[in-house]
Amino acid sequence: MPAIPAGIERVTARYTPPEGRSAGRAAQTVVELGTASAARDAARRIAKLVPKCVRNGENTRVFPLEDTTASTWAWSTITSSPGDEEGWFGYIGVGHRGSRLTVTYYGHGGQDSNFPVGTFEKLIRYATARLG
């Protein structure tokens, strides 16, 4: 993930299920940046950097998700090592509204990801709309 600015106020919520990290993990950060232009510029900067941030180098692929808006962006990632039967699937979303920025992450391990098309994009639009 690209660096998220500290801003005037910053809150992060994290979740790991009782089964542990391999079962999944999620995080959402909301940052108050003071002005709408600062939030927009930070969101655009992060959105440009996400495709370049790869965990495990050549073993990670980043795919833009299509159902985004002028103020939201989303990607899916797949990380697996050659010969491994399981991989790590991640979803990254960025949104801005007013003077606030949100960055959301959801990831899980396994053989495949059965996230229905459009589900994560809806989550990012909803999270962005709730920024105030």
pTM of the model: 0.84
Query: Which tens digit of pLDDT belongs to each residue from 50-95?
Result: 888 766 567 788 888 888 889 999 998 888 877 888 888 889 999 9
CA 8 distance to own-chain centroid: 21
pLDDT at position 84: 81
Q: Tokens representing 69?
A: 């808006």
Residue 99 has pLDDT above 90, yes or no: yes
pLDDT at position 54: 66
Longest dimension (CA), the chain: 48
